[in-house]
Amino acid sequence: MSTRKDQTFAPAPGRSVLMKLLPYAKPYRRQFLQLTLIMLAFSGSDAGLPLLSKWAIDSYARAEQHEGLFLFSIVCLGFALVRGIAVRWMITTGALIHTGISHDIRRDGFKHLQTLSFSYFDKHAVGWLMSRLTSDTLELSRMFAWGLVDLVDGLGKTIIIALIMLFLEVKLALVVLSVVPVLFLIVIRSQWVTLKKYREVRQANSEMTGGFNEGVQGAVTTRTLTREARALTEFDTLAGHMETVSINAARRAAVYFPLVLLFSTLGSGLVIWLGGDGVIAGTVSYGTLVAFVAYAGSFFTPLQDLAKRFPQLQNARACAERVFSMLETPPDVVDTPTAVELEQSGHLPDFNGNVIFEDVSFHYTPKEPVLTRFSLTIPAGGSVALVGETGAGKTTISSLLCRFYEPVGGRILIDGVDYLDMPVTWLRRHIGIVLQTPHLFSGSVRDNIVYGDLAATDDAVEAAARVVGAHEFIMDCEGGYAFNVGENGARLSVGQRQLISLARVVLAQPKLLILDEATSAIDTETERVVQTAIDRVLKGRTSLVIAHRLSTIRQADEIVLLRQGHILEKGSHRDLIARRGAYYNLYTSQFVEQAETRLLGESS
């Protein structure tokens, strides 16, 4: 029952996925062949061991003479050596395939990720994408290498042993082999049951972990509500369920080994009965009898290893499907033929920065339109401030301008030309962007600034840092521009990170600047420095600012107040204040809030 049920839940037969994996296996053809041969040698040495016993017993022990024992010893030593070398070689070859294939998939996956557009990154969390390129690829390639090892070992050993036995004594061989299918069924059944029970355990475990999370995160709340005792009782119920389910699973899984043991011993028992009669009758040698008893007990391990691989194979297939779903997502921001032609001709026009949104519509999902027939003009050299609540569409507008997304309807014209007809790189070369939360990469301060222009000299980097007033604090850091900023820039303060990201954009010298101002204020001193830096960077540039600071808003040539993707009010600060409408309300409440924060946020 459970078998069938599990299969219906499993993904559709994945031959296609396996076919897709083949190109990744191809460079390792030699290693695969090598591994197969090694495993055959390994299984052979395992299967041959009882033959050594037979030789020792029949030629020396029973014969009561030791002529040729030296040769026997040499062969024994050879067996041990073959085994040692096979194991070592198997691991290194398997590891080569394992690490190699996962490296290759990661390489291609990463490269592909760089080409995907933002609609993809919106749908997939960073954590999800990371596990595709880390745990999934490892799991997948592990299956390739070690799956093959177990497949060859399991099948190879079973076949070799069967052949040896048939060669030695057909009747006894058939008797022993009759037990194998039963063993195989038990082993498979045990895998499914264990898997199913284990799923229950995982479920109970996640509920219990949830209880722990809540207990730890809500510890203070629990205290203020004086419900420690009740919380403990509730948690104990979850922990108790986990205990019951786990013990139950362990007991169910423990049934199978005794069964296997019983059937293996049944094989040995039959060998002793029938083979023993043969020995007494003189038709079977002592050595053969001993070898057959050994063989009867040696099917279990390879069968079990093989059976263990089935659920893992399912799992690896699921991993492969997820990885390929990523690898096969077509990039949707690509240059049109016109743009490619233009790029190749090398006659790219100058960029003046005259931007027109012409009836632009956009949505992430058709049901929820973000922008509907949105129109806006940013004249070259002008500055536009976007204001409005979260979710009003401000970020979408800036992302459309960067062509992180493309409009669903309408056009965006840059200097009079639809930007879809221009190369993406041309557009982005001339646009600079400063994010709300500054993003730094681990590496030196210099690495982070030079990101704006990889060819920049040290002097240019320093000049850019001076423009935004970052030079002073950089020189105070250990090693100056070589100072390592740590993961995500963690070794710098938020304000310092903002200054560096501004310096980066200054170095890039964009014609058009998009600035997403930070909502939460930092301490007043840094705030002032950052504000000065922003004013300096904005001066004389065409800019689109998602504005939060009142001074930035006031200085804009045009303020656009958005609500749910529509322009509610538009005009200069003076005009909009005079209108006493939505902008007026927004401005006054912001004014009070920011003034309060200024008075109270400063820690003394």
Partner 1 sequence: MPAVPPQHMPVSHLFRVLKQTVKGSRGYYLAASLSVLGVSAFSYLIPLVFRFAIDTVIDQRAFSLPFKLKTIPADGPWALWLRDHLWGCGVIMLILAAGQGLFDYCRAWFSATASESFARRLRKRLFNHVNHLPFQTLTQLETGDLIQRCTSDVDTTRQFFESQLIEITRILVMISLAIPVMLFLDPFMTFFATILLPLVIAGSILYFGKVRRSHKKVAESEARLSTVLQEDLTGMRLVKAFSREDFETRRFQSANEDFRDTSLAMMRMVSVYWGGSAFLCMGQICLVLAVGAYRASEGLLSVGTLTVFISYVYMLVWPIRMLGHVLSDAGRAHVSLSRIVEVLEKPVEPSEPDTVRPDIKGAVEFRAVSFAYEKNCPALKDITFSVPAGATVGILGKTGSGKSTLVHLLPRLLEYSGGSILIDGHELRNIAREHIRSAIGTVLQEPFLYSRSIRENIMLADHAEDDEESAEHRLLEAARLADIHRTVQENFQEGYETVIGERGVTLSGGQRQRVAIARALLGTPPILILDDSLSAVDAETDRRIQTALKNRHGQSTTFVISHRISTLSQADLVLVLENGHLTHAAPPDELAAQSGLYQRINDIQSQLQEDLSRADDASMERGSKDSGAP
Nearer to partner 1, 14 or 50 (CB): 50
10 vs 259 by CB, closer to partner 1: 259
Only one residue has tokens 């030593």, namely: 77
Q: Which of residues 14 and 432 has its CB atom nearest to partner 1 in the complex?
A: 432
Question: Is position 433 an interface residue for partner 1 (rule: CB under 8 A)?
Answer: yes
Does the protein bind partner 1 through residue 519 (CB under 8 A)? no
Quick one: three-class SS letters along 53-105? Answer: HHHHHHHHHCCCCCCCHHHHHHHHHHHHHHHHHHHHHHHHHHHHHHHHHHHHH
CB of 142 to partner 1, least distance (A): 11
Residue 143's Cβ-side half-sphere holds a number of Cα atoms within 13 Å equal to 20
How far from 273 is each of 102, 277, 279, 280, 297, CA to CA, in Å? 52, 6, 10, 11, 16
Q: Nearer to partner 1 by C-beta: 138 or 533?
A: 138
Q: Is 404 in the site for partner 1 (CB under 8 A)?
A: yes
For 482-586, list the strands marked E by DSSP: 512-516, 542-546, 558-563, 566-571
> Given candidates 11, 210, 330, 391, which one binds partner 1 under the rule CB under 8 A?
210
Residues 573 to 602 in contact with partner 1, rule: CB under 8 A = 573-575, 577-579, 584, 588-589, 591-592, 595-596, 599-602
Which one, 317 or 514, has the nearer CB to partner 1? 514
- Asked if residue 277 binds partner 1 (CB under 8 A), the reply is yes
Of residues 544-573, those binding partner 1 (CB under 8 A): 571, 573
CA distance 398 to 378: 12
Half-sphere exposure of 73 (CA within 13 A, CB side): 5
Radius of gyration of the chain (CA): 36
Q: Is 334 in the site for partner 1 (CB under 8 A)?
A: no
Rounded distance between C-alpha atoms, residue 229 and residue 330, angstroms: 55
Piece of 104-112, 172-180, 190-198, 313-321 that binds partner 1 (CB under 8 A): 104-112
Query: How many positions of this chain bind partner 1 (CB under 8 A)?
Result: 152
Report which of 442, 424, 440 is spatially closest to residue 504, judged by C-alpha positions: 440
Q: How far is the CB of 99 from partner 1 (least distance, A)?
A: 5
- 281 touching partner 1, by CB under 8 A: no
Are 420 and 592 in contact, with CB atoms under 8 Å apart?
no
Q: Identify the residue among 10, 40, 56, 417 touching partner 1 (CB under 8 A).
A: 56
Which of 138, 164 has the CB closer to partner 1? 138
Interacting span for partner 1 (CB under 8 A) from 28-36, 161-169, 370-378, 448-456: 448-456
Distance CA 375, CA 570 (A): 12
Smallest separation (angstroms) from partner 1 to the CB of 369: 22
Query: Which helix or strand (DSSP H or E) is residue 359 part of?
Result: strand 355-365
Can you tell me which of 19, 22, 280, 455 binds partner 1, judged by CB under 8 A? 280
